[in-house]
Amino acid sequence: MAKQFNVPPVIFPSDGNPGVPQRRPPANPPTAPFQPPRSSNPGIPFMSFDIGSAAASTSFSTPQFASATIGGGGGSIGFEDEPPLLEELGINTKQIYQKTLSILNPFRIKPDLHEDGDLSGPFIFLMAFGLFQLLAGKIHFGIILGWVVMASMFLYVVFNMLAGRNGNLNLYRCVSLIGYCMLPIVILSALSLFLPGGLVIKVLTGVFVVWSTRVCTRLLVELASYGDEHRGLIAYACFLIYMLFSLLVIF
């Protein structure tokens, strides 16, 4: 008994070339790589390689930024209404200017201006002192900053030992006062660039050291309690501090 095989039907092309048979296309042809299935929505492009069609079907609009306002409560604050950067950093230029003027006049000191200590003015004076020393050929930036810290700690310990438990001088205010009273030494450092050495610079050094000592002693006595009882000892400690810094100018 002969076996029968299932042979798929052969369809000849319509152009009349029977030598090249063509098979029927499969019912579910495979899709190309990176292409969505045919059952998906053709209106949504998915990794389409047709740049023109993708650009036409997809629209990207320029982002619109909202107005630069910060809403707080019921109102809004614009960038033009924000405080200046120096004020946000805690640097009050007007206060520094007033404190500097009070130091320049040793006979009319205003202690009320120095009740609130700050480190912006002292830092400016110390950097100016180091710059003048650098112009003189001396690199003393590290020495100046280190000596100011040690001098502030020294004066803080001495004053609180004299005042006892009632002493109200904190280290922050001590650094602020010593830094502001460095202004006469900074002026001396600037004048030393134009004056010859010898007796002239030594006499000027004595004058400016006494100037700094008087101002610093007056501020400490007026601002800290129980300082009037030990004015002489406080003045001696201040004199040692500013004489130490004046040695950097002379030598």
Cα separation of 177 and 11, whole Å?
107
Q: Give the tokens for residue 50.
A: 């047709």
Q: What is the pLDDT of residue 60?
A: 46
Higher-pLDDT residue of 104 and 1 is 104
Q: Using an 8 Å Cβ cutoff, are 106 and 214 in contact?
A: yes
Q: What is the pLDDT of residue 15?
A: 56
> Per-residue pLDDT tens for 60-113?
455 454 444 444 444 445 667 777 777 777 788 899 999 999 999 888 888 888
Distance (Å) of CA 230 to CA 29, 94, 172, 240: 104, 33, 21, 16
Query: Bridge partners of 129?
Result: none
Within a domain: 4: no
> Per-residue pLDDT tens for 120-149?
999 999 999 999 999 999 999 999 999 999
Number of domains in the chain: 1
Within a domain: 17: no
Q: What is the pLDDT of residue 168?
A: 79
Q: What is the pLDDT of residue 30?
A: 57
**pLDDT at residue 41 greater than cutoff 90:** no
Sign of CA pseudo-dihedral 183, 170, 231, 222: positive
Query: Bridge partners of 22?
Result: 11
Of 26-30, 56-60, 182-186, which gets the smallest average pLDDT? 56-60
> Per-residue pLDDT tens for 196-244?
878 999 999 999 999 999 999 999 988 887 777 789 999 999 999 999 9
- DSSP track, the chain: ----------B--TTS-TTS-BPPPPSSPPPPTT---TTS-TTS-SS-S-HHHHHHH---PPPPPPPSEEEETTEEEEGGGSPPHHHHTT--HHHHHHHHHHHH-TTS--GGGGSS--SHHHHHHHHHHHHHHHHTT---HHHHHHHHHHHHHHHHHHHHHHHGGG----HHHHHHHHHHTTHHHHHHHHHTTTS-SSHHHHHHHHHHHHHHHHHHHHHHHHHSTT-GGGHHHHHHHHHHHHHHHHHHHH-
Within a domain: 45: no
User: Of 232, 248, 228, nearest to 182 (Cα)?
Assistant: 248
> Per-residue pLDDT tens for 136-189?
999 999 999 999 999 999 999 988 888 877 777 889 999 999 999 999 999 999
**pLDDT at residue 23 greater than cutoff 70:** no
Full domain range(s) for residue 113? 88-250
Amino acid at 69: T
Q: What is the pLDDT of residue 59?
A: 47
Within a domain: 32: no
Within a domain: 61: no
Within a domain: 44: no
Q: Give the tokens for residue 54.
A: 């993708």
Higher-pLDDT residue of 195 and 79 is 195
User: Of 111, 85, 71, 69, nearest to 221 (Cα)?
Assistant: 111
Higher-pLDDT residue of 107 and 55 is 107
Within a domain: 115: yes
Cα 207 to chain centroid, rounded: 38
Write down how long the chain is.
Answer: 251
**pLDDT at residue 17 greater than cutoff 80:** no
